[in-house]
Structure 1
Amino acid sequence: MEDTVIDDIDLDLIAALQTAPRASFDVLARVLDSSARTVARRYARLVDDGAMRVICEIEWSLLAEGLPATVWIGTEPGRAPEVAHALAARADTPFVSLASGAADVFCMLHGATRADTTRALTTELPAVPGIRTLRTEWILRRLTSTASWRLPRLTSGQISALTGQNAGRTAAHPRDTPLSGLERDTVAVLRNDARMPFSTLARTLGITESRARRTVAALLESGLLRPRVEVDPRDIGYAVEAVLSIGCRPGAVKRLTASLADHPATRFLALTAAASVFTYGGVFRDEEHLADFLTGGFEGSEEVTSLECSLQLEVLKRYWTARP
């Protein structure tokens, strides 16, 4: 990314797009008390400079068989960058970072099949030069999505005005019927550009604009596609990014799920098949903000029985895309 200066007006636009990623520039301008031309110009600058993308997050069941695993990796001294770059080059890693604390490198691994993921964890990753230790935590259920995280900048009135602007929702249950060929093509096109106009999508797919609208509406309503803003938290005021393994008593899982999912720092939360119960990803203004969170800064913290923290020093790959 170029050294783009993101000011308060840009932050308001990012916050509005988080709430309504596919809203028109006219709608965004009206909500932000600006002009459509100004909004469009600022949007184009953020995208062209690589500071922001508006993408479609795809339900895991469409990407691969089974669920992903998180991998906490210890490396030989001085070899963490080499290992992280090797993992980022793999097609089955949606997220890779250099870390400190519980791991030198943290990644998420999601093979096309369960067998692929197993082979990667048991054979391929251990053979990567520089890796000394691996700890794997299989995800059982995603509890929150990064698509639901919001910058706390909009008023309740602004949020209300943007609600319902094709934001998509989380799928409660995997769809029983497979995607049609047209739906798969639509997913492939919108994956990297959630704001593509219906007219452009229709031309790309060789269908009518009305059919493109119906197909997109069905995918958004099902929760299989979730438009979202992709932006580096450090660029918008969150200097500290952390991944935690959190353990608790079985009887406290529901309470902690509700508390952590609603916390403003939470970007990702999942149940895991490991000694811990949760894998948690969060963003914080600074180290003091993280310290407050770790020392009882969320409801139900007294139920926590174990906690490991890895600071994300540098993110090399986020949502399947290498960082510039």
Structure 2
Amino acid sequence: MTVVNARPGGADDVDRAVLRALAHDGRASWARIGELAGCSTSTAQRRVTRLLEDGTVRIIAASDVLAAGFGVSTKVRIRSGAARADALADALARRPEVRFAATLTGSADCTAEVVLPRVGDLTSFLSTIEVDGRPVETEALPIVRTFTAPFTVFPGDALAPTGRAADADAPRSATANAPAPDPSTRQGVSPLHADAIPEERAVFAALVRDGRKPLTDLAREVGRTEAATRRTLEDLVQSGRLRIGPLVAPALLGRATELEVWISVAPDRLSDAAAQLAGHPSVHYAAASLGRFNLIGQAFLPDFASVYTFTTDVLGALPGVREVDVTVQLRTVKRMWSRIEDGRFVPASEASAPAITSPADQAAATPSPAVRVPDTA
């Protein structure tokens, strides 16, 4: 099971309040974060700084890449043999196209989420994955609709609009995250049906590494004026295509077991099942996909003993279920493009840039090296 060594005692009430404030507006001033969290400016800044230095929190930009026009996300299940899973996960995590990578126990040894310009680019990517000089068995499940939004749920702790951080009467800043989709609508996040422009891709890629990057530095990195960069950023955030907030280690909030669940649902019940799964407080991610499993979820539970109840009472209650495969994340090495080493997020200064390219840019780019795990014999 994935374990992140959080601070002794985990997050207290003040930490949680500050994290909720950041989930509302990840680029807010320290004074505003303190106001939303009900603490002083200095306390808010001190708490966030400590969490960042601990490696239990990173503040990043995140997006539903398909809905926002940044690319196509695909979940890949890999059979490599348990002995080679760790090395393969590390190799996958070094690829800029890979947003998530973890080793598993169960029917697959490793899983990765890859973001590519087009679904047709999958063949090229999958053909580069080798272990001991031989191709590995892969199963690709392209994501066609997501039913959760980043930073609206802590691991096992709902962040829906409640409390001071989401006061409906409070003025909404230009960088406050847009309201999350309501799972009960059964529609998920509606796609934009358009590609992001180069300026938007550049802003997204820069803020994935550091969501609070100062505007001056952000403008310099993307090669535009501060005014133009501010307009692009505000448009992305206000439209809901980009969300900026805290990426939180589950263990910081007392969640010791991480699951990837793979579900086959009757097509006419898929929307109902996805909405019901997304609405559960332990579920961090729920998405509809193509392939043998058409509903994928990620859940964070307090301990391994909770898996039985989650499987029977939550997964077993989903409508139209035909097959369920529950896998346990043994070691997570990358999440939301953020590398994880020794159970902690790698500092933003050491993070590599993600690949958020357009089809034209991808065609002109130098091909990425193969994901090769050499024979140790």
Taking structure 1 as the reference length, the TM-score comes to: 0.85
Partner residue of 1:242? 259
Partner of 2:192: 174
Describe the shift of the 1:146–1:131 C-alpha distance in structure 2 as closer, same or farther (beyond 3 A).
Answer: farther
Greater shift, 235-244 or 188-197, is seen at: 188-197
Alignment of 1:155-194 (within 5 A): 156-161=162-167, 164-165=172-173, 166-168=176-178, 172-174=190-192, 176=194, 178-179=196-197, 181=199, 183-194=200-211
| Aligned residues of 1:142 and 1:270 also touching (Cα < 8 A) | yes
What TM-score, normalized to structure 2? Answer: 0.74
Name the structure 2 match of 1:226.
243
Select the structure that is richer in helix.
1
Deviations 1:16-51 (A, max 9, x none): 322332232212212332110111111112223322
Percent of pairs identical after alignment?
Answer: 25
Residue pairs, 1:58-97, within 5 angstroms: 58-61=63-66, 65=71, 67-97=72-102
Q: Secondary structure at the match of 1:293?
A: helix
Output aligned runs, 1:1-324, within 5 Å. 4-5=7-8, 6-8=10-12, 9-61=14-66, 65=71, 67-121=72-126, 123-126=127-130, 129=133, 133-150=137-154, 151-152=157-158, 156-161=162-167, 164-165=172-173, 166-168=176-178, 172-174=190-192, 176=194, 178-179=196-197, 181=199, 183-198=200-215, 200-201=217-218, 210-297=227-314, 300-301=317-318, 303-324=320-341
Give, in angstroms, the shift of residue 10 of structure 1: 1.9
For 2:264, the aligned partner's letter is: G
Distance change in 2, residues 1:88/1:128 (3 Å):
farther
How far apart in 2 are the matches of 1:206 and 1:217? 17
Gaps of 5+ in 1: none
* Alpha carbons 1:83, 1:129 under 8 Å: kept: no
Deviates more, 1:311-320 or 1:247-256: 247-256
In the alignment, the residues of structure 2 paired with residue 147 and residue 303 of structure 1 have an alpha-carbon distance, to the nearest angstrom, of 29
The equivalent residue for 2:360 is: none
Q: Structure 2 stretches of 5 or more lacking a match?
A: 181-188, 342-377
Q: In 2, Cα distance between the equivalents of 1:100 and 1:3?
A: 23
Q: SS of the counterpart of 2:98?
A: coil
**204-213 or 38-47: bigger deviation:** 204-213
Which amino acid letter does the alignment assign opposite residue 244 of structure 1? V
Summarize deviations over 1:106-138 as a string: whole Å, max 9, x none: 1112334434321222x2225565875322222
Deviates more, 1:226-235 or 1:290-299: 290-299
Aligned residues: CA RMSD: 3.0
Q: Which moved more, 1:155-164 or 1:49-58?
A: 155-164
Letter in 1 for 2:150: T
Deviation, structure 1 residue 202: 5.0
Assess, with a 3 A threshold, how the Cα gap between structure 1 residues 41 and 101 changes in structure 2: closer, same or farther.
same
- The 1:299/1:220 distance shift into structure 2, 3 A limit, reads farther
Is the Cα contact below 8 Å between 2:5 and 2:251 reproduced in 1?
Answer: no
**Structure-2 separation of matches of 1:204 and 1:77:** 41
Q: One-letter code of the match for 1:189? A: A
Contact 1:70 1:108 in 2 (8 A): yes
Aligned-partner Cα distance in 1 for 2:201–2:191: 19
What is the Cα deviation at residue 15 of structure 1? 2.8
Change (3 A) 1:116 1:276: closer
Quick one: structure 1 residues 85 and 201, their matched pair in 2 at CA, closer, same or farther if it must change by over 3 Å?
A: closer
CA distance, structure 1, for counterparts of residue 270 and residue 120 of structure 2: 29
Q: How many residues align?
A: 321
Shift in Å at residue 314 of structure 1? 0.9
